[in-house]
Amino acid sequence: MEVNVYTPHLALQPFVLNISTIKVMLPEGLPEVVTPYPPTPFQSMLFYCNDPVSMSGMDEENFIKQPFSVVLGPQFSRVNIKVHRQLRAIRVDFVPGGMYRIFGIPMHELFDKGFDAQDLLGSEIRILNEELQNIGDLSEGKNLVEKFLMHRLNRIKSVLPFDSAMRILLHHHGKLSVEGTASLSCMSIKQFERTCKERIGMNPKLYSRILKFSKAYRLRENFPEMSWTAIGYEAGYYDQMHLIRDFKVFAGVNPSVIARQLLETPIRMQKDLPI
């Protein structure tokens, strides 16, 4: 699996955390691979430049082929992803509130779902999808996606202190209190929670839990030799029971089971996301 992570154009950086290109070529004789994908704190767009992946819920056997471009809203539930032979894709991860500011879609309407980007955003995406099917190099595709996002900047929602406060919460992996983050947002608790639902798609306590869990999960993908005790400490868990609880909620299984599942697949889908 080859992943390249790019810093977006300076004009996009208030909205976009990074743009990644992803290339997977499965070994000969291995036509498909299934890998777990628990929730991340990022709202994202995915563009498939050849054969899209298929996806199922954790306990579902039927995998559904994805459209060529997908908008991922705020995630809560784990899914399983099936890669078919090869994968060439471009991924855009937005800063907290960035997707709302660029596209103006209340994030709670996208909660825990993936949507065909063409259905949400229309002909611009259809044209971009067609262009991406004909690229030679993924860096060329990255430039096309970046150009599409740049065209949206004349329609952005205004910035609020909330947006910078949520970036601070992101960089602290959810370790700030709700009261402290609301204060940084220059809002009352009720105003903060209402804005969080609109721009992030969930209440701030849940978002903070996903931030902490996601760091722990990505540490496991990156450092499989690392003990769960060390992972829990690094991710900010007070004790092992809180770590186990969050893995059961967000990964659907306890940490030892997800560790075995990762051993069964050669693909680490979240390994190169920023920790």
- 18-63 pLDDT, tens digit per residue, is 999 999 998 888 889 999 999 999 999 999 998 899 999 887 788 9
Shared domain check, 194 and 109:
no
Number of residues that make up the chain:
275
Assign 216 to helix, strand or coil. helix
pTM of the model: 0.91
- Tokens read off for 224: 């499989």
Q: What is the domain extent for residue 245?
A: 206-263
The CATH number of the domain holding residue 16 is 2.60.120.10
- As a whole number, mean pLDDT of residues 250-256 equals 94
Shared domain check, 7 and 96:
yes
Is residue 269 in a domain? no
Shared domain check, 215 and 114:
no
CB 141 within 8 A of CB 177: no
- Tokens read off for 234: 């690094």
Total of domains in the chain: 3
Shared domain check, 92 and 173:
no
What number of helices (H) and strands (E) belong to the chain? 11, 10
Contacts of 212 (CB under 8 A, 6+ apart): 173, 174, 175, 235, 236, 237, 246
- Tokens read off for 108: 């709670």
Shared domain check, 168 and 43:
no
Shared domain check, 107 and 15:
yes
Q: State the Cα–Cα distance between residues 23 and 33, nearest whole angstrom.
A: 14
Q: State the Cα–Cα distance between residues 133 and 252, nearest whole angstrom.
A: 35
Q: State the Cα–Cα distance between residues 238 and 243, nearest whole angstrom.
A: 8
User: What does the pLDDT look like over 112-161, one tens digit per residue?
Assistant: 989 999 999 988 999 999 999 999 899 999 999 999 999 999 888 888 99
Is residue 275 in a domain? no
User: What does the pLDDT look like over 257-269, one tens digit per residue?
Assistant: 999 999 988 888 8
- As a whole number, mean pLDDT of residues 210-225 equals 94
pLDDT (0 to 100) of residue 59: 78
Is residue 215 in a domain? yes
